[in-house]
Amino acid sequence: HAARRYPDARFHGFDISSEMLKSAQSTVSRKGLDDRIALARGDAADFDPEALFGIARFDRVFISYSVSMIPVWKEAIAHAATVLEPGGELHVVDFGEQTGLPGWFRTALRAWLAKFHVAPRGDLEPVMKDVADSHGGQLAFTSLYRDYARYGRMTMSAAPA
């Protein structure tokens, strides 16, 4: 969707799972986007954009419904901030605590997520705030859909911290 919306942009994606990369590569190829989307195997908490893609930093980093599955998720968010260009943005969306949803639905959803080793990160906002503060950045954070999900957008300062 992002590639269609931003036809002049180049995208770089990575995952630690070879199976997820196979699935992603199949979709990229099927959509005819091989020339604009590069994929590689990497660890969110310790990736090197130069080694993976031949670039030093990113304008934007998106982490979508992943921190709830990354054991060292705080390190992944902190590391993502270090690979942003000055003025760049880190966007994180993931499961919330579902506080506004009916209790029966919240219980069922949490049980289903647990089967896939998905753990909503209740402290996502303060963790992102700490990372933003440590880099001289700013954080906008919101709960979505009765707290089904949470979305944080960290904007780095224009000058390196």
CB 140 within 8 A of CB 128: no
Q: How far apart are CA 69 and CA 22, in angstroms?
A: 19
Q: pLDDT tens digits for 33-43?
A: 999 999 999 99
What are the tokens at 33? 């986007």
Q: pLDDT tens digits for 83-129?
A: 999 999 999 999 999 999 999 999 999 999 999 999 999 999 999 99
Q: pLDDT tens digits for 66-92?
A: 999 999 999 999 999 999 999 999 999
CB 52 within 8 A of CB 12: yes
Mean pLDDT of all residues in 119-146: 97
CB atoms within 10 A of CB 102: 10
Q: Could you give phi then psi for residue 4, rounded to 5 degrees?
A: -70, -40
Alpha helices in 11-160 (DSSP H): 18-30, 49-53, 73-82, 103-115, 124-134
